[in-house]
Chains A and B, each alone.
Chain A
Amino acid sequence: MAATTTTSTSFGWTGRILRVDLSTGEIWTQPSMEYNLRYIGGRGVGARLAWEEISPGVGAFDPRNPLMIFAGPLTGTSAPFSGRTIIMGVSPQSYPIEWFSRSNVGGHFGPELKWAGYDGIAITGQAERPRYLFIENGRVELRDAGELWGLDTYEAQRRLMAAHGKSVRILSIGPAGERLSRIAIINTETESAAGQGGFGAVMGHKRLKAIVVRGTGQVHIARPALFRQRCQAIAEEAHAPLGWPGPARLDPEKVVKYGERFHVCTQGCTVRCSECRWYDRVPGVVRKGRIYSGQFHCASALFPGVPGTFYDWKLGFEAGFELSTICNEYGLNQWDILFGIVPWLRDCRRAGLLNDLDGIPIDPDDPHFWAELLRRIALREGIGDALAEGGRRAPDILGFGREFADEYYAAWGYAGHWDGHGNRINEIFFPFWLVPALQWAMDTRDPLSSGHGYAQNIMTWSKHLSPQAGLDWETIADVAARVYGSRRAAHIRSGYEDKAFPAFWHGQRSVIKDSLLVDDQIFPRIYSEKTPDHFARALDMDGPAFEYHMFTAATGLNISEAEFERMAERVFNIERAVLVRNNGRDRAMDESVIPYFAKVEWWTNPELGERQALDVERFRRLMDEYYTLRGWDPRTGWPTRRRLEELGLRDIADELERIGRLGPA
């Protein structure tokens, strides 16, 4: 393509999608404004493209599977917490069916893509030989990646930075993605990744080692003064670390020993995060003589082992940091290994089903066991070949331990997350996990990636988890009532009452965050330590409307808040329609989460004093309520013509009717 400077007549969006066909080598651009105005951007546009372009029968490892990498209208602007990127396509990790899903990545890639002049990239086909995609504004090339193939994600990035300069931003895969592991990540920088979904394997299948972007263009803002004012006020309101109360502090010992410091996981994050850290020159334990530096956050915190919890292996910080780094380098999904595979292996050993990995004893207290495990998975050696299919599929392949995997995998091939059952680190108890249970039932993946807003917010804002700065249960219910319309939606003794609406509402919020894109740990902003009534506000904006106000000031779109939410609901419906059409998704599938939640919970609600399990019939009634709110048929779980037409999706209603999967009027 000829070099062009970016010109833009649109605000927020760039108005162009970059299209690449790896089979033919063709590169072109597609106008995106028609999509943006209906589906916001990011996940919303990806969902519509999936409806239009992913035919039934297209699996994850099909050249026709489009790998979509999207920014949104706020990406690359000065909006706080706006640096993330969404990756979509048919997911190899999805279980038991490979279906359309998504994964979210931080770092600095998305803003650079916008500055290069693109709202997103959609890549189809399969290259004959390893390639990487190089984007520098209007100059886009597929380049030979023969020398990069086989390299780990860090080394691949270093080589690309050496070739193209330090200011490029890179997404890359490691050996795990090259070998089509269903738990292969797309990595950027040291520890940011599209971790869940297995999209690293989609890149591997396409023989696409990396995407390198450099952008020097601009993103225009429709109402600059208003946008500046709103962004500043929102950033200040959210200046509490990571959206929950109390200041984040560094560990003085680690500051001295390992140079611990604050480091963002994502561009645009303006908090001193209580999770994300950088460590410098940490000595290797397994690989003696090696020294590791990099980010450490999120699931990584489990690597060292957390005494007094279910994840109480005794590796210590140095080995934990090393193993986290090795995992990133191979390009493996830490969540699946920490919350699924290793607990599962431990159970199998205890039950006498498996004592060793091809001669290496299963001992989670031994860092050498972990290093061997990661190597075998990444390189598909021995039992690693089965484990590379992910902790959900491995028991099926190996023919044992299925009952243990059922403990950890909530649904769709994803290990638990703020669910009160299989995830045994994020403390949450009945009735609060009822909402995540509904979110899990209705999503295509672990819904928490952009759906922390209910479960994590309530728990971390409570005095129970934040004794000093947290709020009491009655205050939480008061604040939540402003959002959910009922105190019972988030009251500690509310049982099954009013739990469907929060799940419905956070479904839209998840789309909004993934489409703009903004960070899930911060938005939606509900609770606050800065207002007398603890409901978040800034200027004339209510906390939950922050995204709307940034969106309208950036794009100049003159729509109401209700219309904005409708855009998100439209996207949620399209995603459902894609799965209904392509994969036969229905209520029976949604209900497959029930056995997991019907087990007795891991923690105890202190006000109830007794551990609870799901009351299946009452949960089914909650599901009825949820379908009714969604305007979907409660019997089949299929969307109805009425709601689809209200959302402006008549064409989708027609198609679902044609194939006999439209809910009755």
Chain B
Amino acid sequence: MKGRILLFDAASCTGCLSCVTACSMHHVDAVSPASARIHIEFDPFVNRWPAVYCRQCTAAPCAKACPVEAIRLDERGEYWYVDYERCIGCMLCIDACPLGAMFYDPHHDQVIKCDTCGGEPACVKVCATQALVWGDASDRSLYRKQKGRR
């Protein structure tokens, strides 16, 4: 059973990319879209754009593809994280992810993925329109669309 989940509402995203810069800053103390665990595929000419980040899926093809069991579930079962002590840099996880949410960070020469900042996602804190929300998967109010329109 899922614990807390991170949801994205494209209708509320304003395109500020603060989630991207906050994510990078949180993880590597520097700002680069290439170090961010969330990508906003902002397009100035369309009405909606996707956010690409790990949805902490149950099947976790990335973890299954990993030959050295470096992608592991945290104690509470909320998020998958990369154990860099084990990771051999083979990138099979990138191939395996059906969402394209495993990234390679060239600045640190490693694969990266959303680990929900260990349960306190930095992206959610900076999102002014609540396009990104973090909460209990059993809380149905979390799923209400167009949250930013209130």
Contact = CB atoms under 8 A, between A and B. Distances in A.
Interface of A: 5, 76-78, 80, 83, 107-108, 111, 115, 154, 157-158, 161, 166-167, 188-190, 216-221, 224, 227-228, 232, 235, 239, 250, 255, 259, 261-264, 266-272, 278, 280, 293-294
A78 B32 CA distance: 10
Contacts of A158: 45
A219 B42 CA distance: 20
Contact of B14 (A77, A167, A262): A262
Contacts of B22: 78
B148 A217 contact: no
B30 A232 contact: no
B128 A239 contact: yes
Contacts of B125: 232
Given A216-B33, A263-B15, A270-B18, 6 more contacts: A80-B18, A161-B45, A167-B41, A217-B107, A218-B107, A261-B12
B31 A78 contact: yes
A161 B42 CA distance: 12
B32 A219 contact: yes
Interface in B132-146: none
A278 B13 CA distance: 11
A157 B45 contact: yes
Contacts of A267: 15-17
Interface residues of B, number: 36
Contacts of A157: 44-45
A293 B32 contact: no
B44 A107 contact: yes
Contacts of B12: 261-262
Contacts of B30: 218-221, 224
Contact of A78 (B18, B45, B107): B18
Nearest to B23: A78
B17 A221 contact: no
A153 B84 CA distance: 46
B75 interface: no
B18 A268 contact: yes
A621 B43 CA distance: 52
Q: Which of B15, B31, B128 is packed against the most chain A CB atoms within 10 Å?
A: B31
Contact of B45 (A190, A217, A261): A190
Interface in B65-82: none
Contacts of A80: 18, 126
Contacts of B56: none
Contacts of A188: 44
B47 A262 contact: no
B116 interface: no
Interface in B93-150: 106-107, 125-129, 148-149
Contacts of A76: 21, 31
Interface in B1-24: 11-12, 14-18, 21-22, 24
Given A77-B31, A250-B149, A269 B14 contact: yes
Contacts of A266: 16
B29 interface: yes
Nearest to B125: A232
Given A224-B25, A268-B16, A270-B126, A216 B148 contact: no
B25 to A, nearest CB: 4
A221 B30 CA distance: 6
25 contacts: A78-B18, A78-B126, A108-B15, A111-B21, A161-B45, A188-B44, A189-B45, A190-B44, A218-B24, A218-B31, A218-B32, A218-B34, A218-B107, A228-B25, A232-B126, A250-B149, A259-B47, A261-B11, A261-B14, A261-B149, A262-B12, A263-B15, A268-B17, A272-B128, A272-B129
